[in-house]
Amino acid sequence: MRTKVQEGKNNQFIIQDDGMLLNGKRICVSNVEELRMEIMHEAHYAPYAMHPGSTKMYRDLRPYYWWPTMKKDVEFVARCLTCQHVKTEHQALAGKLHPLSIPEWKWEKITMDFVTGLHSENMMLFGWLGID
């Protein structure tokens, strides 16, 4: 990459006087796994960071750093044990059950459901329940 920039074949990147390679205003992080992991580790585990998810962490890092696989690499936070234990679910809780109204005619309303979790010694059982 650095050679292409020096030869003028890549206008997207620039080399500063101190030798730092930039993509716009963002620092280009070299292809050293330990360095990239250190940046991501600091962005995720630092006390002020508060364990952001992958989307927030990517948005936080993007203005300052660049490497080709950054968006994919920040997904390592999905394996963070602290996040798995502490983070809340953003899914609404299931509502309460409501009684079904009694139909006036046969077959006016049919209700069906699967019943699972029935165990026998050697097999799992399930049932299909239908009510008219």
Q: Residue 66: beta bridge partners? A: 28
Going by C-alpha positions, the residue among 69, 74, 70, 67 that lies closest to residue 21 is 67
Contact, 51 vs 45, CB < 8 A?
yes
- Residue 86 phi, psi (nearest 5): -100, -35
Q: What is the pTM of this model?
A: 0.61
Structure tokens at 35: 């360095």
In the chain the domains, ranked by start, together with CATH numbers, are: 2-86 (1.10.340.70)
20-73 pLDDT, tens digit per residue, is 889 999 999 999 999 999 999 999 999 888 889 899 999 999 999 999 999 999
Angle at 31 between CA 30 and CA 33, to 5 degrees: 115
